[in-house]
Amino acid sequence: MTTLEIKGDWNIIKGNLKQKWARLTDDDLQFIEGKQEELLGRIQKRTGESREAVQDAIKEYRAALAA
C-alpha cells in the first residue's frame, strides 16, 4: 500500500469518525502521524467513549475499507 493510499484511507476514516462523533474536529484527528496514543486520548476526551470503543470504531472503519 502506498503512502497516498494510506492517507486516502485515513481521510475516509476521519470522515467516518466525525460522522459517528460530531464533536470531533480536524485538529483532534490530525495526530495520526506517529501519535496514535494521543489521538485515542483526544477522541476519548472529546466523545466520552471508552478507549476500547474508540479502537473498535477505528478497526471497523479500516476493515470496511479493506473489503
Query: What CATH number does the domain containing 41 carry?
Result: 1.10.1470.10
CA distance 26 to 39: 11
Alpha helices per DSSP H over the chain: 3-20, 26-29, 36-47, 51-66
CA distance 15 to 17: 5
Q: What is the pTM of this model?
A: 0.60
**C-alpha cell at position 5:** 493510499
pLDDT tens column, 17-32? 889 998 888 887 776 6
Give the pLDDT of residue 34: 59
pLDDT tens column, 2-11? 554 556 678 8
Task: Tell me 22's DSSP state.
Answer: T
Q: How many domains does the chain have?
A: 1
Full residue range of the structural domain in which residue 38 is found: 3-66
